[in-house]
Structures are given as C-alpha cells and as structure tokens.
Structure 1
Amino acid sequence: MTTLLTVKNLKTSYMTGQGEVQSVRGVDFAIQQGEVIGLVGESGSGKSVTAKSIMGLIQPPGRIMDGQVLFHDTDLLSIPEKELRKIRGNRISMIFQDPMTSLNPVIRVGKQLTEVIMRHQKVGKSEARKQAIQLLRDVGIPSPEERIDQYPHEFSGGMRQRVMIAMALSCKPELLIADEPTTALDVTIQAQILKLMQQLQKHTNTAIMLITHDLGVVAQVCSKVVVMYGGLIMEEGAVEEIFENPLHPYTQGLLKSIPKSVTGTRERLEAIEGTPPDMLAPPSGCPFMERCPFAGSICSKMPTYRQTETGHRSLCWIGQDVQGNDTKPRKED
C-alpha cells in the first residue's frame, strides 16, 4: 500500500496574551492510499489544529513551530503558498463541521460549486455546471438541475453538508479531511452522511481522515484509529485492536463512555474524572496522569511508545519493563 501522507513531529502553538498555548506537541502518523483513519479525542485535544496544520490553514496568532507534513514526497510546510493552493482543495480537500459557515449565504450553491471546478480543473462554465449537477446527484441531492440554482438557506442541514462533500470531491482528491462532519446533524442524517462517505470512498479510492469525538462513528467507517489527548497521540492502531484491546487508560475511558446497544441490558456509563491539562503550561510527563486511575510517580516523566508487532502503539508506562515503574496493574475486562 502506498503512503499518501506522513506527519512528522508536528508542533503547532497559539501565541496569546497569557502565553503560548501548545495545541499540538509533536505528532507523528501516516495515512495510506485509500485508507480511512479516525482521529479521535475530546475537545481541545489537538485534532482540528492538526488538520488545519496539514491544510496550511493556521492563521495568526497560530504558528507551526516544527515538523514536516509530507504529501507523497512534498513537504507542505515548506512550499510557497502559491504551490500549496494547487494542492489544497484539489488533491487534498476538507469538509468543515458547520456547512453554513463554509458556504457563502448570498451566492447560489451552483456558482460556488462551479467556481471550484473551474479553478482546479481548468474547464469552461458549461462543462463545470454539468459536472456540478452530476456531483449533486452523486451525493444524493434530489432534482439537482433545480437545486443547483438555489441558495444555501434553501437547503436543510443535511443537504448543505452533502453540498460540502460534493464540493470537496469535485476535483477527485487523493485525501479528504472531514472535521466533525456529522456533529450538527440528527442521528438519521448522520447515518446517511457516513454511508455516503463510505460509498464515495469505495468508488473513488479517496483516503479519508475523519476527525470526531465519537468512537461509535469510528467503529462504523474507519480501519485505523489515532487517539489524541493533550496535543499528543496517546494510542494508534487498527480499529479491531483498539476496540478489543485498548492499551491506554484514556482510550479505555473513552470506550467505557459509549452507550451499549445490547438489548435487555442496563449499564451505567463511566465518566472520565477530572479535566484536560492546561495547554498554556502542559505537564512534562504524561498529560493524562492527573486523571488516570493507574498512574504512578514514573508518569511524571514523559513515557515512550509501547508498540506491538502489529503496529499498535500506546504512549504509556503501563506494561513497560523499566526500572522504577510503579504504575498500578490494570484489571483486564
């Protein structure tokens, strides 16, 4: 399988009046061609900042402090903005959480879609309109010949999100980054949008990086999971391994907070006690230490990754044979 995107030691901060907010503190992962990867974690973990860093969308007071983002062999962090624009929106596209803030409310949907196609594919207005109608049809919008001339406010939330997906796919990108694409939608529409993304991925072989806080969504559509917390990757592995044998206490806590759908059973959901770390002064050790039920004094030092033969890795001292490891043994479920 061909490696499409490689992120190495990515560090992104925001300079505020109170000091430097270290949103992403050294992130490494890769995405293979045609792969669907889930980037999960609670609010403030660094998921969206990672995505914006990849896309070159970090604006002041934000600043990328270090790292590389290799798209094939091109470092997106070192090329001129003019070169980046040729890739962004063309070979790499992004769907944002709220389509109403991404679509211009005073411009017809068709005009917004055809402008993207004309800019990146270098085709005329007539051909761009024809492609736009077909894209709207592909994403399940009824009567696309009529809907193409309507304004965003004439579409429902789910339909606006479908328009954003059509726009993102208009140039047949190699990588689609979807930042919480179903958060503002009801459960039925969420399922439809996720099914649509799965179908389009299979049809086009586009790699997808799905950013979400919902592990249930990840279980439905992803093949690999990257769990973030405190600006770092806590755990990474195949979906089956993460769900069946989570290695990091934070991942275990996230999984225990998912409602079970087994008929006839009633289980109390478990919350993760405590609050996330202050990224103005992040801890020098494990960022999850203060909330972890298994933490020992060794956790005040930053752990190294513990990795299995399958590539399943966890940033945790638990299970590591090192001197002074006083972490509490975890009870196996």
Structure 2
Amino acid sequence: MSNLLELDNLQTTFRTHDGDVHAVRGVSFNVQAGELVGIVGESGCGKSVTCKSIIQLLGSNGRITGGQIRFNDDDLAQKTPQQMRAIRGNQIAMIFQDPMTALNPVLTIGKQMTEILVRNKGLSKKAAKAASIGMLEQVGIAEAARRYDQYPHEFSGGMRQRVMIAIALSCDPQLLIADEPTTALDVTIQAQILRLLKSLQQKTHTAILLITHDLGVVAQVCSRVVVMYGGLVMEEGSVEDIFYRPQHPYTQGLLASLPHPEQVSHRLSPIEGSPPGLLNPPPGCPFAERCPQRMPQCARRPAFYSQGAGHRAACWLLEDKGVQV
C-alpha cells in the first residue's frame, strides 16, 4: 500500500503570554491508504495538536513552525486557509471528542448534514436530503427519516457520535481523523462505536487516524500504533509489537499501568511524576525525569532505532540492540 499521509519533522507552536508552547516538536510518521492507525499517550503529549495541524485547525495563536505534511504527495503545511477549506470535509474529515459541542444546537441534524453536501459536493437540496438519510441509516440510526428533522439535544450521546461519523463520511474522505470519539460514552456504547468505525473503514477503505489515551481501544481496532510523549514520537509499531514487544520505557510504563482482569490481586504500577512543561521542553528525552532506567546520555535526544520491520523506538537503551533509522 502507498502512503496517503506522511508527517516529516512536524513542529507546531502556540503563542501565549508566558511564551511559546512547543506542543509538537518534530513528529514523523505515515498513514497508508485504508489503514487504521492509533495515536496514544497521556493528556498534553501532542496527539490532538498533531492531528489539528494536519487540517490547520489550530486557532489564532497556533502555527506550524517546521516540517512537512504530505497528503497525496501535496504539502498541506504550505496551503492557504482557502485551499484548506476545499480539502477539509472532502478529502480529510474529523470527528471531534464531544459531539454536543461540535454540533450546532439550534439547527436540525438534517440541516447540518445537507449544507455540507450542497456546499462540498454540489448536490441539490433534495438529493442532499436523500444522501443524508442514507448515511444516518448506514451508521445505524433507526427511523432515520424522522431523526433527520430532530435537533442534537433529542439524541443520546452515542447517537450524536453516530451523527458525527455520518457527517464526517458523507463526502467520502480519503482520511478520517477521530479525536477520542468514545471518551464520553459508557462502555457498551463505546464498543458499538468502535465496531461501527471498524466496519465503515473496511467497507469504504477510508484511512483512519484514531487519537486515544485508551490502549484497550487501540487493541480492538488498530493495526499500527504511534506512542507520543512530550510532543515527540517515542515508539511506533504494529499492535503486536507495542503490546507484546514494547521497547521504550514509556510504552512499558503505559502497559504496566493497565489493570489485568484475570489477575484480581495484580497491583497497578503507575508512572511516577508528571509530563514535562512544553514552554521550556527538555533538550533530551522528555521521559528522562520519570524513567527508572535513565542514563547520563538521556540529556541528549536519542535517535530512532529499528526493532524489526515497521517497529522503531527512540531510546538510548536500544543503541546497541538495533539499527539507527
């Protein structure tokens, strides 16, 4: 498969009264056409900022300060806001974390869906209505024709998230970015939404970039995982690599902090300390202060070392165990 999206040394900064916050500090990874990739890490590690950088939804104080975002071999970092408006929705769509704030509370679901299809695909209002109802049915909303005329507050949380998925997929994007789409949902509804995303991805061959802090979600639906911390990628590999052969101490710490249902007496091992501040980020490995295996050379940023096909990690412990990539 070819690479649909390639991030190369992406750097994103936010201006604040206290100084520049270096939220993303050199992130590189790719997403292949039709692939489902998960981005995991603690809150504040740069997951959402990385993905919002892709579609230039950073706010007035955010800016891309370096690197490339190649989408179909076209650098999105060089696009004007007007050019990005033509790409957002049509080629790249995003599902936001809280559907209640993403949906307009004073417009019906149908109105919000049809205006996107009329503007982006040039459909008539009649054709857009038929397509919208069809999409609602596709994401599992019963009585879609009646629901079409209802308002967001008349839907449950899970149903609102299904509407967001329907809106995102209505223009047949090549890449779907899902920003913690199951965070506010209970476990049963969460499982339904994950199955829906996986099913739609297989049917439409849309590539999905899934942002989450829940490793259980990643294990269920993703084929490859990017582990982030302190605005950097710490480790990248297949689901099997990350869960069964983790190489970076941060990845190992995340896995050790997960509960084990089959081991009732198992004691969780939390990662001590707090993530680094990104106003003045550390020059070396950002995890060094919390790492139980830190060494003097951790004061310098490590290179990536290959741990097998498609598996790489940035840690000095691997200097003698892998090939630098």
Work out whether the TM-score is over 0.5. Answer: yes
Aligned position for 2:201: 201
The within-5 A match list for 1:57-96 is 57-96=57-96
Q: Does 1:280 align with 2:286?
A: no
- CA deviation profile, 1:203-227 (whole Å, cap 9, x unmatched): 0000000000011100000000000
CA apart distance, 1:73: 1.4
1:228 aligned onto 2:206? no
Amino acid at match of 1:186: D
- Specify the alignment match of 2:131 in structure 1: 131
**Aligned equivalents of 2:197 and 2:147: distance in 1?**
21
Q: Distance in 1 between matches of 2:246 and 2:52?
A: 28
Q: Aligned partners of 1:42 and 1:123: how far apart in 2? A: 42
Q: Which residue number in structure 2 is paired with residue 55 of structure 1?
A: 55
The letter for the 2-side match of 1:18 is D
- Give the Å deviation of 1:317: 0.4
Match of 1:299 in 2: 298
Q: Which residue number in structure 2 is paired with residue 328 of structure 1?
A: none
Q: What are the within-5 Å matches in structure 2 for residues 110-259 of structure 1?
A: 110-259=110-259
Partners of 1:175 and 1:141 in 2: CA distance: 23
2 CA distance for matches of 1:233 and 1:3? 18
- Bigger shift: residues 300-309 or 247-256: 300-309
Q: Deviation per CA, 1:243-273: give whole Å up to 9, x if none.
A: 11100000001111111122x6431111000
Q: Percent identity?
A: 59
Moved more, 303-312 or 281-290: 303-312
Provide the C-alpha distance between the structure 1 equivalents of 2:297 and 2:73, rounded to a whole number of angstroms. Answer: 39
Deviations 1:267-294 (A, max 9, x none): 1111000000011111111000010000
CA displacement, residues 60-95 of structure 1 (integer Å, 9 cap, x when unaligned): 211111111111111111122222111111110000
Contact 2:307–2:313 (CA under 8 A) maintained in structure 1: no
Which TM-score applies when normalising by structure 2?
A: 0.97
CA distance in 1, matches of 2:119, 2:39: 30
Question: Are the equivalent residues in 1 in contact too, given 2:38–2:212 (CA < 8 A)?
Answer: yes
Q: CA RMSD in A?
A: 1.0
Paired residue type of 2:222: C
**Aligned match of 1:326:** none
Residues 108-153 of structure 1: CA distance to partner in whole angstroms, max 9, x if unpaired? 0000001111111111000000000010001011100100000000
* Aligned residue number for residue 25 of structure 1: 25
Comparing 225-234 and 306-315, the one that deviates more: 306-315
SS in 2 for 1:318: helix
- 1:291-316 CA distance string (max 9 Å, x none): 00000111111111111331211110
CA distance in 1, matches of 2:308, 2:139: 40
Amino acid at match of 2:268: L
Q: CA deviation at 1:320?
A: 1.1
The TM-score, its normalising length taken from structure 1, stands at 0.95
CA distance in 1, matches of 2:96, 2:267: 33
Give aligned pairs, total.
321
Distance 1:161 1:265 in 2: 33
Q: Secondary structure at the match of 2:202?
A: helix
For 1:200 and 1:310, the matched residues in 2 are separated by 28
2:312 and 2:318 map into 1 onto residues whose CA distance is 12
Unaligned runs of 5+ in 2: none
2:260 corresponds in structure 1 to 260
Shift of 1:321: 2.9
Q: Provide the residue aligned with 1:327 in structure 2.
A: none
Output the amino acid matched with 1:179: D
Q: Return the letter of the residue paired with 1:116.
A: I
Q: How many angstroms apart in 2 are the aligned matches of 1:43 and 1:309?
A: 29
